[in-house]
Amino acid sequence: MAKPRPRLEKPTLDEYLDKVTLAEQATQHVLKPWAGVGLGLLFLIVSMIFAAAYVSEQPGYLIIIAAAAIAGYMAMNIGANDVTNNVGAAVGSRAITMTAALVIAAVFEVAGAVFAGGRVVSTVEAAIVDAAQMPAGLSFVWVMMAALMSAAVWINIATWSGAPISTTHSIVGSILGAGVAAAGFSAVHWVSLAGITASWMVSPILGGGIAALLLAFVKTFIIYREDKIDAAIFWTPILIAAMTGAFAAYLAVIGLEKVVDVSVVNGVLIGLAVFVLTIAAARPWIIRQAQGLDNRNQSLRKLFQMPLILSAALLSFAHGANDVSNAVGPLSAIVANVNGLAILETAHVPLWVMLIGAFGISCGLLLFGPKLIRVVGEEITKLNPMRAYCVAFATAITVLLATSLGLPVSTTHTAVGAVFGIGFFREWYTRNSKRRLEYVRQKTGHMDFERRVEHSPEELHRRRLVRRSHFMTIVAAWIITVPFSALLSAVVYSILAALFI
């Protein structure tokens, strides 16, 4: 005779609630990526409404409203891909949290774009192709429209692939490709393009060189001193003051040129005054921070946290001033051309155009930025607050210099170049610094340390502090960006021309 089946116990209320909680967590996990997409679409709708409020009574206003949405999309992609370079070093060194880094970058990106972004915008909108050589009608408008669409799509693809490409390369290549498709190679301003291209090659080298020199300075005068804390108390305020002084001089001469006219001499004097005041304010703060710290490298990380945060903020301001042009330069050109204005390098950039670019960059950073922050901050070479400070400071100085000259340099190239500069310098310093070898001998007691390093291939390979695979991957992405975006833009322009011209 078969045994009766055991009676199943009814689920308790707690078990039902656990199932509901698991279902909610699964739903949130599935829908989380789409939340960012939804908020991004909301920003594009707001951009269109914002543009309509300013151009609804102007000729060709529908084209401008559509261009505003595409420019907002481009700006969000810049924020998702390019702005990560500003705070990647700070997050990778564990100096600040991801949330704090995103907030700092978002605020200073907007400030840099609004107060200091006009100079490079003029270069992007007017100095790459000649509007006068375009076919009659709105051909130039569709050139810029195709450039925005192509660059934004390419950056979007790269971001989802985890590749930190240059958004500057993308937009310049796109304008070049659409311009050639519309009017041939004669429409290209080859001299201006040569200057922009030269700045692309110089910026990563300059960023890497400045970062390496800064790290050499920090190692020589702080890290490998007998009393590290006293050395840090003396030099850290000076490093902070050098950064704030350079920023103040730039802001006085370039950043606020739309508000007040300051000569270069007066700007330098303002920078020197800020330098002195910063030292006076920072030194007591550093002394308080240093109280009770042990005389070791780990203690130095605490003292370099504030300089690193300041340098990340400065870099975000510099990036906003420079790279907002990649989104709103073509939009400004579209507005001017639709209204029948001349496209000149001194053309006025409407404030509402700058605001779409500024807030679009911050929106893209907050929604999609964390994806690439770890690539720059953690996966190329190991960073601590001292190294990260050198990366951020070097990148900021290089980008600010380029912005003052009106050159749309690649912040990606500069920041990644600085990270590689730090890594390669550390490799060289590990093998060749007599000061470091003597320091290690004293700490470890290994008198044959130098001989083991020089004659052991395994030891040399272990001390390769830069991941070569990342170096080759990033360089390959840099090389392919311009030709790919140019080709894509030429195709998009051809389609737009067939439909609307």
Per-residue pLDDT of the chain (501 residues; tens, 9 = 90+): 555 555 545 556 555 556 555 555 555 444 455 667 788 889 999 999 989 988 877 777 889 999 999 999 999 888 887 766 667 667 766 777 778 877 888 888 888 877 776 655 666 656 678 777 777 777 888 999 999 999 999 988 887 777 767 788 888 899 999 999 998 888 888 887 787 777 777 888 888 899 999 989 988 899 888 888 999 999 999 988 988 888 888 777 766 666 677 787 888 899 899 999 999 999 999 999 888 888 887 888 888 888 888 877 877 887 777 777 788 888 888 888 876 554 444 456 788 888 898 888 888 887 876 666 655 555 556 777 788 888 878 887 887 777 677 666 777 778 778 888 888 888 788 777 666 556 555 655 554 444 444 444 444 444 455 555 566 766 777 778 888 999 999 999 999 998 887
Residue 289: half-sphere exposure toward Cβ, Cα within 13 Å: 21
Sequence length of the chain is 501
Residue 189's alpha-carbon distances to 172, 186, 196, in angstroms, are 12, 8, 11
- The predicted pLDDT at position 490 comes to 95
Nearest to 141 by CA among 58, 49, 55, 67: 67
**Alpha carbon distance 338, 498 (integer Å):** 19
Segment holding 291, helix H or strand E: none
Q: Let me know: does 255 contact 115? Beta carbons within 8 Å.
A: yes
- The predicted pLDDT at position 278 comes to 93
Q: Let me know: does 241 contact 282? Beta carbons within 8 Å.
A: yes
What type of residue sits at position 299? Answer: S
Specify the DSSP class assigned to residue 163. Answer: -
Burial class (CB in 10 A: 0-12, 13-18, 19+), 382: middle
Crossing angle of helices 139-161/61-81, nearest 10°? Answer: 30
Q: Is 184 left (phi over 0), alpha (psi -120 to 50) or beta?
A: left
Residue 366: half-sphere exposure toward Cβ, Cα within 13 Å: 18
| pTM of the predicted structure, to 2 decimals | 0.75
Phi, psi of 147 (to 5 degrees): -65, -45
- The predicted pLDDT at position 459 comes to 44
- The predicted pLDDT at position 330 comes to 86
- The predicted pLDDT at position 177 comes to 93
- The predicted pLDDT at position 10 comes to 53
Q: Which residue has the tokens 């508000």?
A: 259
**Alpha carbon distance 262, 354 (integer Å):** 23
- The predicted pLDDT at position 49 comes to 92
Torsion sign, CA atoms 28, 32, 34, 37: positive
Residue 433 neighbours by CB under 8 Å, 6+ apart: 219
- The predicted pLDDT at position 371 comes to 64
- The predicted pLDDT at position 418 comes to 85
Crossing angle of helices 13-55/61-81, nearest 10°? Answer: 130
Q: Let me know: does 323 contact 411? Beta carbons within 8 Å.
A: yes
Q: Which residues pair with 188 in a beta bridge?
A: 129
- Which spans in 291-341 are helix H? 297-303, 305-323, 325-338
**Alpha carbon distance 90, 361 (integer Å):** 19
Residues 144-156, buried b or exposed e (16+ Cβ, 10 A)? bbbbbbbbbbbbb
